[in-house]
């Protein structure tokens, strides 16, 4: 009987270790998936970007727009980005720079290994070379600019393959190289609004999430994980969003 108990304990320990190794492998797979997304986006190969998303219930949250399902994802990357940045070509065009490095990644996989969440940062350099007049008016953008943002994403395993379920990209700031973030004008990159919603706009989002803000407004994109030391979830006690609330009151005349 003692040997049977030892065997059961050993089998349980092996199963626990195998699951822990599996979770570590999943974390690396999710990191690879997100970094691949950044590399594909760099070179405007938007068809490949769309392939990274889950087949069921995926969405993208970007500039207050919520693009739902594979059809919504295609509208953003193919119908909007592809037409605005590359004239409909799936791939880079001469003189257009759009780098999306994926940094500071923190990934957590659920114990059952079906879902995962990840937080990433991007510090983007973008612009058009002076010898590329054909894209001078591309999307109405400046000649060269900085951008910084936070991803708080969700991932799902479909048929054994990790895919993006929710890509929630929250740009934090935009700025020109010439003047920097100190002089970023208000509404430098306009948010999507109700007038842009699909099908009124053929490349618009399915709905609007009004919570996002842009520099010089500030907030904290909620963390999907607790403080690793205290175990407590961060919550906004009013300080992080005070500037946003103050501005809202000013606009409303209160």
Mean pLDDT of 24-43: 97
Residue 223 lies in a domain: no
Q: Residue 82 above 90 pLDDT?
A: yes
List Cα–Cα distances, 23 to 27, 36, 118, 163, 183, in angstroms.
Answer: 6, 20, 14, 15, 45
Q: What is the pLDDT of residue 35?
A: 98
Domain containing 155 equals: 2-216
Q: Residue 136 above 70 pLDDT?
A: no
Number of separate domains in the chain: 1
Mean pLDDT of 120-138: 78
Q: Residue 134 above 80 pLDDT?
A: no
Q: Average model confidence (pLDDT) for the chain?
A: 89
Residue 226 lies in a domain: no
Q: What is the pLDDT of residue 72?
A: 98
Residue 156 lies in a domain: yes
Residue 136 lies in a domain: yes
What pTM does this model have?
A: 0.89
Residue 138 lies in a domain: yes
Q: What is the pLDDT of residue 7?
A: 83
Residue 182 lies in a domain: yes
Kindly indicate the confidence band of residue 241, based on its pLDDT and cuts at 50, 70 and 90: low
Residue 250 lies in a domain: no
Residue 44 lies in a domain: yes
Q: What is the pLDDT of residue 237?
A: 77
CATH number at residue 31: 3.10.450.50
Q: What is the pLDDT of residue 37?
A: 98
Give pLDDT tens digits for 139-168.
Answer: 556 688 899 999 999 999 999 999 999 999
């Amino acid at each position: 009987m003692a040997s049977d108990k030892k065997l059961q304990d050993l089998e349980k320990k092996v199963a626990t270790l195998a699951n822990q190794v599996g979770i570590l492998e999943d974390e690396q797979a999710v990191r690879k998936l997100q970094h691949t997304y950044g590399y594909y986006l760099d070179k405007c190969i938007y068809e490949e970007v769309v392939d990274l998303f889950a087949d069921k219930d995926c969405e993208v949250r970007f500039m207050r727009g919520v693009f739902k399902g594979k059809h919504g994802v295609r509208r953003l990357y193919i119908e909007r980005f592809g037409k605005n940045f590359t004239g409909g070509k799936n791939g880079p065009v001469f003189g257009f720079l759009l780098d999306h490095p994926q940094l500071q990644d923190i990934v957590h996989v659920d114990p059952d290994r079906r879902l995962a969440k990840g937080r990433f940062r991007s510090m983007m350099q973008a612009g058009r070379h002076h010898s590329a007049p054909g894209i001078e008016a591309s999307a109405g953008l400046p000649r060269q600019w900085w951008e910084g943002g936070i991803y708080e994403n969700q991932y799902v395993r479909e048929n054994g393959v990790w895919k993006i379920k929710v890509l929630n990209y929250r740009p934090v700031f935009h700025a020109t190289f010439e003047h920097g973030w100190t002089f970023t004008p208000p509404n430098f990159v306009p948010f999507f609004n109700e007038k842009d919603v699909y099908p009124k706009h053929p490349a618009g989002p399915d709905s609007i999430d009004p919570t996002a803000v842009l520099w010089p407004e500030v907030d904290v994109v909620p963390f999907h994980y607790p403080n690793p030391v205290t175990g407590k979830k961060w919550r906004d006690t009013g300080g992080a969003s005070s500037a946003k609330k103050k501005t809202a009151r000013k606009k409303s005349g209160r």
